[in-house]
Amino acid sequence: MADESTPADRHERPRRAIEDPRRTTLRWIMEFAIYVVVAILVVSLVRVFLVQPFLVPSGSMEETLQNQDTILAWKPAEPERGMIVVFRDDLDWLEPAKPAPTWKKALSWLKILPNQDEQFLVKRLIGLPGDHVTCCNAQGQLSVNGHVLDEPYLYFNSRAVAQRHFDVVVPAGHIFVLGDHRDSSADSRDHMCRGDAYPFPSVDSIQGKVVAIMRPFSRAQWFHIPSTFADVPDPVGDPPNSERATGTCS
């Protein structure tokens, strides 16, 4: 078929349609909203299934952790002796918390922050169900199932308080936790020796294994389980049930 267009027609560039600025702005807002929703979903899924930031609430883990450090807890980790764990305060060891501000509740609803109606603690997991935990030998050392622990992370001001003697078997479904600041930590030993509260958090209360300090950046570091815990033998016999669990403290 013959080309009926003139030379001028063939060299003329096609004209672009002029888009309504209002439609351009609306499309940009919609795209931005989609990006925000996707980002929130990703953060929520990561927080629910993988890793969660927490704020260290006290000095009970000094010098390993400092008050107000932001730490990361890896949620899929199975409980192991020697790991630092974040756990829910199911035993009411803490005073009731003040109501959280609205913005924190909103972020909690979006699964970006932990549940603001719950409180959390951070300690080192020393004993698993069935473990026989004792303190102290002539050198002031802790033992688990007869294995003496080498704990270079310990920090204390009063040796007499830090090395207070006790003897306990951890009940089924529970753990025994101690703070690294051994004479200034309201932990399992402290509550057992005071006799005013149940000293064993439940395994189910564990939120995750602390793997790193995220802030401040000057203290950023990764954590691993101290090698001394690798030599702890398995407990002998079945763990007692929680109703009959007993321990002695002197």
Task: List, for residues 207-218, the tens digit of each pLDDT value.
Answer: 999 999 999 999
How much is the pLDDT for 246?
Answer: 67
Structure tokens at 48: 């629910």
φ, ψ for residue 102, nearest 5 deg: -60, -40
Give the residue-averaged pLDDT of 208-232: 95
Domain membership of residue 3 (yes or no) is no
Residue 240 CA, chain-centre distance (Å), reads 27
Domain membership of residue 99 (yes or no) is no
Give the residue-averaged pLDDT of 59-69: 95
- Give me the number of domains the chain comprises: 1
Domain membership of residue 80 (yes or no) is yes
Out of 63-67, 70-74, 194-198, least confident range: 194-198
What is the extent of the structural domain holding 181? 22-94+118-249
Out of 6-15, 38-47, 185-194, 230-239, least confident range: 6-15
Domain membership of residue 109 (yes or no) is no
Distances (CA, A) of 51 to 85, 112, 134: 13, 11, 33
Domain membership of residue 128 (yes or no) is yes
How much is the pLDDT for 70?
Answer: 92
pLDDT digits (tens, 9 = 90+) for 104-131: 777 666 666 667 667 999 999 999 999 9
pLDDT digits (tens, 9 = 90+) for 154-189: 999 988 888 899 999 999 999 999 999 999 999 999
Domain membership of residue 164 (yes or no) is yes
Domain membership of residue 107 (yes or no) is no
Does the predicted model carry a pTM greater than 0.85?
no
Domain membership of residue 113 (yes or no) is no
CATH number at residue 196: 2.10.109.10
- Statement: residue 41 has pLDDT above 70: no
How much is the pLDDT for 135?
Answer: 94
